[in-house]
């Protein structure tokens, strides 16, 4: 039926400018609570389907030329992927480490050897996981029915991820701009929209001046923070009347702790601001060197903008934790009072059963409520990025065909499931 009525393909020479926009999805707060309730009644297992619905809404909010992205992943895929990762990776690792610790002892040579192999393995697994998660999301992203894809090797990415991470401490961090550029290059060059590749031309060089500012400023912040703390504490201690005072005066101790915390908080905030500024430079740099079919991306992300989003998200999460705590107390409080008097319940054993049930319910509330407002914070992150991203130039949309090389076939069982972002 489709073939008879298919619209005539656009002429190959026709190129269109593409406009990126964000259309705020309504109902994310309600969705947060719905997902919480469903996680609660399914012992948390619904989280994979809940996460999928959130992604479907966030993807739909991203508009290219007014038309939405489509997320085609399913909760079942995420769930299977998680089971496979759990069964083939997490469980064997924890069983092995447990067995070795029991059999040889936590301080034995065998345990140290195991740890020596385990940590690099975990690093490589994180690299593989990052790449595969990206691949899963891209193959589950459609625009006008055309799929995205990631066609390279996860091991290649994981290897670069691993050995360059080893060099971070050895170079006192100075490899970081090179490393992030290299990893971004691997991902971007492997990326496809339909049958067309993305190209990446960024060099790490231009990032080094910003990185130097971040590096030296961080050093300065550390030195300044410790000097301020040192001066204050010494000042307090060597004041003439301080010697007379009892050294264990609690108000003095509290004052000193308060000073230390205040200075460290200010120092951390300064560092966070600077690192956000550096990250914004990197994002903008990478965007302007990412090309697709002759068009180029452009990002106008700022450090302050990233910090604003982060602070907003922190406050939203704080509200989430408050709500969680209130629900938790509301569940436990009646039981607590009910079991206070033994007269209320016929036997001690019945009271114990009620308490156990309350314990389980309380634990379930905490499990189900983890990441309560994640739909809202995730949408905020996506919104900020999309609102500060644009595409310069034009793209020959009529020429872009479905990519055959990275076609997603469903139901390949374990091999398929292992490709899923369960990490």
Interacting residues with other proteins between 312 and 341 (CB under 8 A): 324, 335-336, 339-340
Contact between 373 and 316 under an 8 Å Cβ cutoff? The reply is yes
Instruction: Kindly indicate which of the ranges 68-76, 166-174, 199-207, 269-277 contains the residues binding other proteins, using the contact rule CB under 8 A.
Output: 68-76
Binding mask 93-122 for other proteins (x = CB under 8 A): -----x--xxx-xxx---------------
Residues 220 and 276: their CA atoms lie apart, in Å, by: 17
Do residues 422 and 75 make contact, with C-beta atoms less than 8 angstroms apart?
no
If one asks whether residue 88 binds other proteins (CB under 8 A), the answer comes out as no
Q: Give the interface segment with other proteins, choosing from 71-79, 149-157, 266-274, 307-315 (CB under 8 A).
A: 71-79
Query: What contacts 251, CB < 8 A, 6 or more positions away?
Result: none
Using the contact rule CB under 8 A, the part of the chain among 77-85, 155-163, 220-228, 296-304 near other proteins is: 77-85
Q: Which one, 105 or 205, has the nearer CB to other proteins?
A: 105
Nearest to 293 by CA among 191, 420, 174, 414: 191
Q: Which of 17, 19, 29, 41 binds other proteins (CB under 8 A)?
A: 41
- Contact status: 303 vs other proteins (CB under 8 A): no
The C-alpha atoms of residue 132 and residue 130 are separated, in whole angstroms, by: 6
Decide: residue 415, CB within 10 A, 0-12 exposed, 13-18 middle, 19+ buried: exposed
Q: Output 24 or 251, the one with its CB closest to other proteins.
A: 24
- For residues 369 and 321, give the distance between their C-alpha atoms in angstroms, rounded to a whole number: 8
Q: Are 366 and 358 in contact (CB under 8 A)?
A: no
* φ/ψ of residue 32, rounded to 5: -55, -45
Pairwise CA distance, residues 203 & 285, whole Å: 9
- Say how many residues touch other proteins, by CB under 8 A: 86
Give me the least distance between CB of 121 and other proteins, in Å please.
17
Decide whether 222 or 357 has the Cβ nearer to other proteins: 357
Residues 194-223 that bind other proteins (CB under 8 A): 194
Q: Which two tokens stand for residue 210?
A: 């910003």
Given 20, 75, 183, 317, the residue binding other proteins (CB under 8 A)? 75
Cβ closest to other proteins, residue 235 vs residue 336? 336
CA count, 13 A, side-chain hemisphere, 379: 24
Shorter beta-carbon distance to other proteins: residue 25 or 177: 25
Tokens representing residue 213 in the block: 């500012």
**Spatial distance between the Cα atoms of 186 and 385, rounded to a whole number of angstroms:** 21
53 makes contact with other proteins (CB under 8 A)? yes
Beta bridge partners of 68: 63
Shorter beta-carbon distance to other proteins: residue 61 or 282: 61
Please list every residue from 343 through 402 that binds other proteins, using CB under 8 A.
Answer: 348-349, 352-353, 355-356, 358-360, 362-364, 366-367, 369-371, 395, 397-402
Q: Six-digit token pair at 305?
A: 């903008």
Per-residue mark of binding to other proteins, 141-180 (x: CB under 8 A)? -xxxxx----------------------------------
DSSP lists the bridge partners of residue 71 as 141
Instruction: State which residue, 231 or 330, has the beta carbon closest to other proteins.
Output: 330
């Amino acid at each position: 039926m489709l073939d008879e009525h298919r619209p005539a393909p656009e002429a190959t020479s026709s190129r269109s400018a593409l406009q990126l926009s964000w259309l705020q999805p309504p109902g994310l707060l309600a969705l947060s609570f719905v997902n919480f309730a469903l996680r609660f009644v399914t012992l948390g297992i619904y989280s994979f389907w809940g996460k999928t619905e959130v992604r479907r809404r966030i993807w739909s909010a991203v508009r290219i030329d007014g038309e939405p992205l489509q997320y085609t992943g399913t909760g079942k895929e995420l769930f299977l992927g998680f089971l496979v990762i759990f069964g083939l990776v997490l469980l064997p690792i924890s069983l092995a480490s447990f067995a070795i610790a029991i059999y040889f002892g936590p301080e034995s040579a065998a345990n140290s050897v195991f740890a020596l192999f385990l940590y690099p393995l975990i690093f490589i697994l994180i690299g593989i996981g990052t790449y595969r998660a990206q691949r899963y999301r891209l193959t589950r992203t459609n625009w006008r029915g055309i799929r995205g894809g990631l066609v390279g090797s996860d091991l290649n990415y994981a290897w670069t991820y691993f050995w360059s991470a080893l060099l971070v401490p050895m170079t006192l961090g100075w490899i970081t701009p090179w490393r992030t550029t290299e990893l971004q290059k691997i991902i971007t060059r492997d990326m496809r929209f339909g049958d067309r590749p993305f190209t990446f031309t960024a060099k790490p060089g231009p990032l080094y001046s910003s990185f130097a500012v971040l590096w030296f400023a961080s050093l300065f912040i550390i030195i300044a923070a410790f000097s301020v703390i040192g001066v204050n504490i010494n000042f307090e201690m060597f004041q003439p009347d301080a010697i007379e005072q009892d050294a264990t005066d609690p108000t003095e101790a509290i004052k000193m702790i308060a000073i230390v915390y205040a200075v460290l908080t200010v120092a951390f905030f300064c560092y966070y601001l600077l690192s956000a500024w550096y990250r914004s430079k990197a994002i903008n740099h990478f965007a302007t060197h990412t090309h697709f079919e002759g068009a180029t991306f452009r990002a106008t992300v700022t450090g302050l903008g990233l910090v604003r989003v982060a602070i907003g998200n922190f406050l939203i999460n704080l509200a989430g934790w408050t709500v969680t705590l209130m629900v938790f107390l509301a569940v436990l409080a009646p039981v607590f009072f009910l079991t206070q008097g033994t007269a209320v319940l016929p036997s001690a054993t019945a009271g114990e059963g009620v308490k156990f049930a309350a314990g389980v319910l309380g634990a379930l509330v905490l499990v189900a409520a983890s990441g309560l407002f994640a739909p809202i914070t995730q949408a905020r992150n996506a919104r900020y990025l999309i609102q500060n991203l644009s595409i310069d130039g034009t793209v020959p949309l009529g020429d872009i065909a479905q990519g055959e090389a990275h076609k997603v076939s469903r139901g390949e069982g374990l091999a398929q499931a292992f490709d899923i972002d369960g990490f």
